[in-house]
Structure formats: C-alpha cells, structure tokens
Amino acid sequence: MRLDIVSIFPEYFAPLDVSLIGKARERGTLDVRVHQLRDWAHDVHKTVDDTPYGGGPGMVMKPEVWGEAIDAVIAGGSPTTVTEGGPSTTVTGGGSPAAVAGGGLPRLIVPTPSGRPFTQELAQELADEPWLLFACGRYEGIDSRVMAEYGTRLRVDEISIGDYVLAGGEVATLVMVEAIGRLLPGVLGNAHSAVDDSFAPGAMRNLVEGPVFTKPPVWRGHEVPPVLLSGHHGKVARWRRDEALRRTVANRPELAAALDPETLDKHDRRLLEELSFRFQPEDMAN
Ligand code: ADE
C-alpha cells in the first residue's frame, strides 16, 4: 500500500519508522511518503493560511497551496526531493502513480473533528485500498473548496478519530495509519492477532475485549483466574465471553444496548440479567 501524507509538520511522523509500521515499511508492504506542505507555498514566508471569510477566530488553510500539493502528489512528484541525509520520514519525490498497483488515483483522507467517525470497519475498508493520501489541516481547517474540487476526481473522506479537538490532523493521521497498517497482510506476526480485537468482525463483534494475563500465575498476591490455567478450551472461551460482556456493560453501555439479542445465547442473557442490564424497548433506546 502507498501512503502519502502532506503536513506542515513532517517531524510528527517519525514514529512511522518504528515497530510494526516501521518493519512493514522496511519490507516494502507499506510505502510511506511524507511531504512538507510549505514546499508548495510561493511567498518568502511560505504562507499556508489566511483569515476566514465571514470573520471569526483563527486562520484557514489556503486552497491554492493545498491544490498544488495534492496535484503534485497525485502526479507522483514533489517540488523538493529530500534524499539520503534528510529526515528519514520526509523522503519525498520519486515514485509515480504507476508505482501503485493498478496505477489509479489515491483516496483522499482529511482528518477533521467534523468528519465521520473512524471505526474498525472503516480501518478495514481503507486497508483494502492501494493508495491513500492524508491531508493534515491545522488551525481552523482547510478551505472547503479543496474537498469540493477533489471530490469531483477522487474519493474524499473527512474523518474524525473522536469527539475531541486536536491541534491538527497529524496525530489523527498517525492513529489511522497504525490502525490501517496493522490490518495489511503480513504486518502482524501472528496472522490471527487481529481476529480477536475489540470491534473486529466475528462472534465477539461489538464487545470490547476482556482482561489478559501472562506468567507468573501469582503476582503480588494477585492470582490469574484459575480457569485460564485449566487447559479446558470451552470453559476458557466461555469465561472470555463473560468478561467481554461485563466490560462492555461497565465501560461501553451504548455498545451493550446496541447488541442484537439474536446473537446472545441463554448464558449471555443470564449474565446480563445478573449485571442488571436490560435491553430497552426500541422506542426508548434514545
Ligand atoms: N483534527 C483535530 N481534531 C481532530 C479529530 N478529533 N479527528 C480528526 N482530525 C482532527
């Protein structure tokens, strides 16, 4: 998969050199290219923002500079090529759309608190794309005409990683790249590691994961639940499901409320009753 990231703070992306994502890049599973937006600004101050029409606080990112940057990335180039010796995460230039399987166009991702929610399902959908281009806004955001313009040529997604406001799209992009990157074939050591994730499709869908334990069996007087040492796979699976249900009710009552009763067995129902959890009639759910 090819990932292009355009930002006024390329330094934010140094973590993409390490761990799973760093290894995926070394192996060539992920081709990450980070670009400095200011490289496409033409004035001496490398200005990327201006005051908002209609007034109000803060600044808005200028459409011209974003347009030139996105056009150049799509064309496979960059105004400056940072070669060896530059920061390893800001290797730009080189490559071409043809370097992407199928030679198509990228899907444009614009992180913003007003976007649609980033979910595991969306992470999986994006992991199936050959090429993503992240446009990291700062200040009050990017002039809306940029999204309108590219919306005529590319798939454009404005995405929020949660109901809080960050200083810019960089950290949101890191979050998305990690969630997407670990879903790429061969990125996780154990091919099944993503299967049991909270929110992964499957039997435990829409339940958060329960607690996990490793050796020693007793630590500072705290014992590992004996069932996990029993070697009885059926009992272990039942215990894990119970714990997932308990945690979902305690920490994510809105997820518990949205569980499809058809997916619950009688043991699940009994546990939920013990937890005094009642499904609301549909018209009372909100
Ligand atoms: N930029 C600022 N806040 C954000 C958020 N919550 N999600 C995505 N991008 C953002």
**Tens-digit pLDDT profile for residues 45-90:** 999 999 999 999 999 999 999 999 999 999 985 554 343 333 344 4
- The CA-atom distances, in angstroms, between 122 and each of 150, 181, 183, 284 are 20, 13, 11, 28
Mean pLDDT of 250-258: 96
Q: What tokens were used for 160?
A: 């929020």
CA distances from 186 to 64, 101, 122, 129, 200 (A): 39, 17, 19, 16, 17
Binding site membership of 162 for ligand 1 (Cβ less than 6 Å): yes
pLDDT interval class at 203 (50, 70, 90)? confident
- Taking CA atoms only, the protein residue closest to ligand 1 atom 4 is 113
- Please give the mean pLDDT across all residues of the chain: 89
pLDDT at 115 over 80: yes
Cβ–ligand 1 distance for 136 under 6 Å, the answer no
Question: What's the 162 CA to ligand 1 centre distance in angstroms?
Answer: 7
CA distances from 118 to 11, 54, 134, 158 (A): 24, 30, 14, 10
- Let me know: does 192 contact 143? Beta carbons within 8 Å: no
Tell me the C-alpha distance between 186 and 23, whole Å: 10
Report which protein residue has its CA nearest ligand 1's atom 2. 166
CA-angle at 150, arms to 144 and 154, nearest 5° = 140
* Residue 143 · residue 129 · CB < 8 Å: no
Q: Given the residues 140, 149, 178, 196, select the one marked as catalytic.
A: 140
What's the Cα-to-Cα distance from 280 to each of 253, 266, 286, rounded to whole Å?
12, 18, 9
Could you give the dihedral angle defined by the CA atoms of residues 174, 179, 181 and 186, in that order, rounded to the nearest 10 degrees? 150
The CATH number of domain 2-181 is 3.20.190.10: no
For residue 114, report the distance from its CA to the centre of ligand 1, in Å. Answer: 8
Query: Does 169 contact ligand 1 (Cβ within 6 A)?
Result: yes
Query: Per residue in 168-184, pLDDT tens?
Result: 999 999 999 999 999 99
* C-beta 112 within 6 A of ligand 1: yes
Question: Which two structure tokens, joined as six digits, stand for 186?
Answer: 């061969």
161 C-beta closer than 6 A to ligand 1: yes
What is the model's pLDDT at position 139? 87
* DSSP collapsed to 3 states, the chain: CEEEEEECCHHHHHHHHCHHHHHHHHHCCCEEEEEEHHHHCCCCCCCCEECCCCCCCCCEECHHHHHHHHHHHHCCCCCCCCCECECHHHCCCCCCHHHCHHHCCCEEEEEEEEEEECCHHHHHHHHCCCEEEEECCECCCECHHHHHHHHCCCCEEEEECCCCCCCEHHHHHHHHHHHHHCCCCCCCCCCCCCCCCCCCCCCCCCCCCCCCCCCCCEECCEECCHHHHCCCHHHHHHHHHHHHHHHHHHHCHHHHHCCCHHHCCHHHHHHHHHCCCCCCCHHHCC
From the list 2, 25, 182, 246, the catalytic residue is: 182
Q: How far is the CA of 167 from the centre of ligand 1 (A)?
A: 8
Q: Is 182 a catalytic residue?
A: yes
- On the question of pLDDT at 8 being above 80, the answer is yes
pLDDT score of 97: 39
- pLDDT of residue 235 exceeding 50, the answer is yes
- What pLDDT digit, counting tens, does each position of 123-153 carry? 999 999 999 999 999 989 999 999 999 999 9
Question: What residue ranges of the chain are covered by domains with CATH 3.40.1280.10?
Answer: 2-181
